[in-house]
Amino acid sequence: MKLQDIQTYVTVPPTGIGGAFWVIVKITTDNGIEGIGECYGIPVSGDIACQMVEDTFERFIAGEDPHNVETMFRRVYSAGFTQRPDISMMGVFSGIEIAVWDILGKAHGVPVYQLLGGRFHEKLRTYTYLYPLDVDSDGNPLPGAGDVYHDGDAAAEAALRYLDMGFTAVKQDPAGPYSFQGGRELSLHELSRSEYNVKRIREAVGDNADILFGTHGQCTTSSAVRLAKRIEKYDPLWFEEPTPPDQISTLRRVVESTSIPISTGERLTTRIEFHEALKAGVAILQPDIGRSGGIWETKKISTMAELYNAQIAPHIYCGPIAHAAATHLAFSCPNFLILETIQTDFHDNILQKPLAWDRGYMLAPTEPGLGIELNEKVIADNPYTTGGRLHLEMCQVVLPSDNDKKITEL
For residues 220 and 247, give the distance between their C-alpha atoms in angstroms, rounded to a whole number: 10
Residue closest to 143 by CA, chosen among 151, 155, 135: 135
Q: How far is CA 200 from CA 110, 121, 151, 272, in A?
A: 45, 33, 10, 38
Please report, as a single letter, which amino acid is at residue 229.
K
pLDDT of residue 408: 46
Task: Return the pLDDT at 140.
Answer: 57
Confidence of residue 142 (pLDDT cuts 50, 70, 90): low
Closest CA to 227 of 181, 187, 266: 187
Q: What angle do CA 90, 91, 92 make, to 5 degrees?
A: 90
Give the pairing of strands 34-39 and 22-29: antiparallel
Contacts of 168 (CB under 8 A, 6+ apart): 125, 127, 208, 209, 210, 360
Average pLDDT over residues 391-399: 78
- Which parts of 130-172 fold into alpha helices (H)? 152-165
The pLDDT score that the predictor gives to residue 176 is: 78
Q: What is the pLDDT of residue 275?
A: 98
Task: For residue 311, count CB atoms less than 10 angstroms from its CB and return exposed for 0-12, middle for 13-18, buried for 19 or more.
Answer: buried
Lowest mean pLDDT among 172-176, 233-237, 255-259, 347-351: 172-176
Give the Cα-Cα-Cα angle 252, 228, 161 (nearest 5 degrees): 125
CB 383 within 8 A of CB 357: no
**Sorting pLDDT into bands at 50, 70 and 90, what band is 227?**
very high
At 405 the pLDDT is 52
Give me the residues paired with residue 217 across strands.
Answer: none
What's the CA gap between 174 and 155, in Å, rounded?
9
Query: How much of the chain exceeds pLDDT 70, in percent?
Result: 93
At 318-348, the pLDDT tens digits run: 999 999 999 999 999 999 999 999 999 999 9
Compute how many other C-beta atoms are within 10 angstroms of the C-beta atom of residue 226.
Answer: 16
C-alpha dihedral sign at 18, 324, 297, 331 = positive
CA distance 278 to 204: 33
Answer yes or no: is pLDDT of 55 > 70.
Answer: yes
Q: Which residues pair with 139 in a beta bridge?
A: none
Q: How confident is the model at residue 134 (pLDDT cuts 50, 70, 90)?
A: low
- Of residues 350 and 401, the one with the higher pLDDT is 350
> Is the Cα torsion angle 332, 335, 338, 344 positive or negative in sign?
negative
pLDDT band at 146 (very low <50, low <70, confident <90, very high): confident
Instruction: For each of the domains in the chain, give its residue range(s) and CATH number, in order of start.
Output: 3-111 (3.30.390.10), 114-368 (3.20.20.120)
Assess whether pLDDT exceeds 60 at residue 137: no
pLDDT tens digit sequence for 65-119: 999 999 999 999 999 999 999 999 999 999 999 999 999 999 999 999 999 999 9
Task: Find out whether 298 and 271 touch, Cβ atoms under 8 Å.
Answer: no
Beta-carbon contacts of residue 32 (< 8 Å; ≥ 6 apart) = none
pLDDT at 407: 44
245: left (phi over 0), alpha (psi -120 to 50) or beta: alpha
Question: Is residue 406's pLDDT more than 70?
Answer: no
